[in-house]
Amino acid sequence: MSARRTAVTLAAVGALVASCSSPEPAPPQWGPELAGKVTVDAVYGHLEKLQQIADANDGNRADGSPGFQASVDYVAGLLRDKGFDVQTPEFERLSGSRGGKPALTVAGRTFRVEQASLMITTPPGGLKAITLRPRKPAGCAAADYGDVDVDDAIAVVDDNGCSIVQKQRVAVDRGAVGVLVVSQATPARPVGAPPTLFTAGYYNDLKVPVGVIDPSADAALRRTEAPVTLVLDNKPVMSTSRNVIAQTATGDTGNVVVVGAHLDSVQSGPGINDNGSGVAAVLETALQLGAQPQTTTNAVRFAFWGAEEIAMDGSTKYLRSLSPDQLDDIALYLNFDMLGSPNAGYFTDDGDQSAQAEPNVRAVPEGSAGIERTLAGILNLAGVRPADIPLARTTDYAPFLAAGIPVGGLTSGSSQRKTEVQARLWGGKAGAPFDPNYHTRLDNIDNVDRDALGIMASAAAYAVGTYAQSIDGVNGVPARDQRDRRTP
């Protein structure tokens, strides 16, 4: 189905529903109305502008680069021209660490150690302490330690079972002054590590020195009961970035619908599908909704995040800047990332956790399943059969999940490979990635499937309009007085 026909179909279905529901003149149905207004030509036009920005700035729009700043200016300028009060709040992010010589000294012999606690260093001269181990090597729960007292010791754990943050948290609760994780993988080279070990931005949540050692250093530790010396002396290097935030001037500010897409690319390419496509869809939706829609019920806040490709720092820092009341004011979060993949799939984020036998995210906020149903229904209206994609901890909805905010979103897929069943369902090439140019210099304007982009952008607009009008019903989210959010 063509993108233009999709928009017309979505608008027509919405109008039919409205006309049959009441003999009185019905108010505008913002879902189908926005779906009809957000055209693929307009969305594609934003992608062309982002490509021009990348071309003029060393081929990328990476966070901290001139290309990213130009992308911020482009998005903020269009929103201001449309009458939005646009904020571009700055935040600091970790851009690296340097200057030291991390090492672990055991019985006079020095071993290599990777500094995982990028924001935390050891005292001058290093941390001197004995090393002790939990009864169960993972160290993911207090029960793993049994009767082992690690007070004032360095806890040594393996890399299985949970994140490095959880291992450190449990060890510190048991009195440990540092942690060593035995692994062949490192934060800089996580290949081979359990997928839950190095979560995005994990270093922000470490409170004591944490290092990663290999099995040879671990073997040396097992041969001694004497104190060792741990030196983690790389100093953090901080950079400044920006988000772009714009909210409608009308609508209930106690039920804010937040809609987001990350604005930065990777350094290796212009990032037109990842995530210019999401940015373009959200931007055009904002422009078509307008700064002061008169018949919507809820305020809508549009967010364009910085530093997602680094560690989701933009969305995380933003949520951490809000008070508990401001977090409770957020009704839900919609995330749009990669909407025009050339070997496209049509995925909704898995709010009901049905897509996996062992969920990556165990505590999914109430209302997320309803958002998934809404998005799946919209894609069905557009003539494509949706599938759900497992929730992860590596994109901008993750801090919203951690805050207890219902989430949902759309994606057309990244480096995952399309199955035979998916190819029969959606067309395209089985066995090939949804986006074969993911995170490369070839993620340019020619890397976007216009039909997929049109369907997904129109569906995104339909969802925004739907929730701008109502958060109630079977596919709604908890009311304001039922929320108890937390800082992520």
Annotated catalytic residues are 308
- Separation of alpha carbons 456 and 40, rounded Å: 9
